[in-house]
Every structure is written in C-alpha cells, then in structure tokens.
Structure 1
C-alpha cells in the first residue's frame, strides 16, 4: 500500500532545505556587498593587524575612472599606511627613489616577513592615473614599501579583499571623481563594481587579478539560487497535492 504521507514529507524536507539554502546565501551577501570607502587625499592607516604575511605578487590594472594597484599576500595583510608624499624614500637608508609622476603616493606595510623577499620590480604602468610603481624597500625591520607615481594629486581609496588576501589602492583619474557608492560585490564585471580592466602590467597579471576580483566572493549566489529552485519545486508539489483531492472528488 502506498504511503499517502510520503509526498507531504518530501515536500516538507525540500522546503526546509530550500529555506536553509536561502538563509546561507543571505548571510553571505552582506560580506560580499560591503560598501567601499570614499576617494580622498588624506592619509589612510590601519594598525588593527600588526603581523602580516609574505607578499606574493603586486600588479596594476586600468578601470573606468580609476587605476588599481594590488598587493597580494599569502595570508594576513597586516598593518599599512598610505599617503601622498613629497618624495619616495627607501626603507632603512632613507635614500630618495627615482619615480615618474606629477604626484607621489607611498604605501608602507609593517609586520611583513623578510623571507621570502617581497617583489620590488618597477612597473611602468603608463595608465591614465597611475604612471609608475617602484619598490621602495623590503627586508628592513619587517617593513615593505612601494611608491606610486600618479598623473596628479587625485583622490585615492584603500581597502582589503579576501581569498586571496589583498591590499587595494585605487587612484582616481585626473579630473574624475569616481562614485563613492560602489560596493565590493564582484557581481557584474569586477570587485569594485566598475567595468573590468582593459589593460594590466606586472608579473603574471590578468584582468581579473589586477581588478582584485575573487570568484569566491560570489559564492553567496549559489545557495540563494539553489534555495529559490527548491522553493519553486516545493510550491509545485504542494500545488499538485492540493489539486489531487479536488480532481478525485470531481
């Protein structure tokens, strides 16, 4: 004899699974869609994580309205300080580092292991806002620095991204004030919710990498979509169950 309660039990199970999947997706969404900071010219500092990890790569990318400088870490980002300066100086010696650009931004990181040595190659970016990137020291008292030569003293913003851990510095194009309502949600074209990069330079750079994009940040969509599909299936099953008694009575 067929168990009349089996379809109802299956429907309840699917409904619970769908609700859980939707909940997981919604819980992950706020982290993916966190608001980015505004562009500005004041120094930006974060000392909340004094110990960082080794730097595995640095790269640049061109975007609509701004250019992006990305530092990738093996694990934690660590403390950092980003500011416009009169000249780029080398850690330890204090020697002036030659660099192209009408205005200069120095990016300093603390708590970085001396081994392996962080990349210090010069990147001739030649972009609209970001002209050149130079290494300004690594291996001195766990400090690593980079100099950014820019076309003018335009606004910049600084933030971090996970998986992999990255420090991102966006330099606004001359005469452009990029919107401050961008989000870190990578849906669309890239992490900053702007059009994807059109050119990248630097070691092993790709458009997605230079943009700071991370496919893992898009994982919130998967459980949400699964949950909605399951919800649709449950709705169809319950609707069919409700129609059957009416049909049998007719």
Structure 2
C-alpha cells in the first residue's frame, strides 16, 4: 500500500470539504470596521428652537445611516433620545407603531414637524415607509410616529439589536445648510 498516495488523497478531500464548508480559504470581503459603539440609549437635552425638515438615509460599508434634517435659527442641534425599545409608540396617542425587523429603535427628536405658525415643515407621504430602505443591510423600515408637544418621533426597524451611534452636525443659520441628527447602525457586532 502506498501511504503517500493515501495521505495525498485524504488531504485533498479534507481541503475540498473545508473550502466547501468555509473553513479554509480567503474570508468573505467584509470590511474591518472596528466599531465599538454599543447598543445603550444615547440622549442629549439642550434647549433648542429647531423644527424637523426632512429624513433621509444612506448606506455605508460598515453601517446604515439615518439623517434627520432640522432647521430654524441655530447652527447647532443637540436635543434627542435614541434607544432600543420593545415597541415604538406614536406621539400623542401611545399607539404601537408596527415595524419590520428583529429590533426597534425609537428616535425622538426634540423638534416639532411644524414652524412657529403651525405650518408643517415635514409631512411624510407614507407614514409607514418614510424612506425606502428595501436594499439596506441593517435597516428594515423607517416609520413616522408623529409630532406632538415640541418633539417628533420616528420608528427605525433594524435587522437585530446592533451597535449604533448618534452624531449631531452643525449647520449654517438661516440657510439651506441645516443642522442634522445622524444615527448610524452597524451591520454587525
């Protein structure tokens, strides 16, 4: 019996099975992100006079991004509460806002969706689908939960309870370049 030929055949079978099972060979092309954000609530409660103007989303290599545009008199905005909750509730009624996904982020922006004269500054066409996230890695749905008593709430359905961060970006007063609240949710832990 030729032992070297037997070992070669066994080695070839092991390598083939390992490759099929993903145990050997190059790793998937997932970027290394080094995310250390965590999943606990992020809040800031500075007094502000801004109003909510728009909601948009973006996809990045390591996270999905929700951007809330606020505007008014200030260049800065720093008044929000973003946290995982069992159910997002609607402003004013407390009704549960249904969301797709394995986890729900409640995004409360302490800015109304109307100006000082009661004119709407933001009114989504579809409250259940504020923006299209159908091709996103982490986001499953962005729903409008309303605006009441000086604050507005969005429900963000995500794939699972994943790390997130909240950033505020300054704007230029009385211009189209308004302050923004940014919520990034990682694609993985």
TM over 0.5: yes
Q: Which has the higher helix share?
A: 1
In the other structure, the counterpart of 1:128 is 137
Structure 1 residue 44 and structure 2 residue 58: aligned? no
- Distance change in 2, residues 1:158/1:86 (3 Å): same
Please point out which of 150, 166, 169 is paired with 2:183: 169
Number of equivalenced pairs: 137
In the other structure, the counterpart of 1:101 is 101
Please point out which of 154, 159, 162 is paired with 2:167: 159
**1:172-194 Cα distance to aligned partner (Å, 9 max, x none):** 11xx34xxxxxxxxxxxxxxxxx
**1:89-141 Cα distance to aligned partner (Å, 9 max, x none):** 10110001122111000001224363324344422312101111001111x11
In the other structure, the counterpart of 1:85 is 85
CA contact (8 A) 1:55 1:119 kept: no
For residues 1-250 of structure 1, the aligned pairs below 5 Å read 38-47=36-45, 49-75=46-72, 76=74, 77-112=77-112, 114-115=114-115, 116-120=120-124, 121=126, 122=129, 123-126=131-134, 127-138=136-147, 140-163=148-171, 164-173=178-187, 176-177=188-189
For structure 1, the residue ranges without an aligned partner over 5 or more in a row are 1-36, 178-250
What TM-score results when the alignment is normalised by the length of structure 2? Answer: 0.67
- Distance change in 2, residues 1:97/1:68 (3 Å): same
**1:16-75 Cα distance to aligned partner (Å, 9 max, x none):** xxxxxxxxxxxxxxxxxxxxx95111000001x222312221001110010000001114
- Distance change in 2, residues 1:91/1:168 (3 Å): same
3-state secondary structure, aligned to 1:136? strand
Which of structures 1 and 2 has the bigger CA Rg? Answer: 1
For structure 2, the residue ranges without an aligned partner over 5 or more in a row are 1-34, 172-177
- Greater CA drift, 74-83 or 153-162: 74-83
Question: Quick one: distance in 1 between partners of 2:184 and 2:78?
Answer: 19
3-state secondary structure, aligned to 1:157? strand
What TM-score results when the alignment is normalised by the length of structure 1? Answer: 0.51
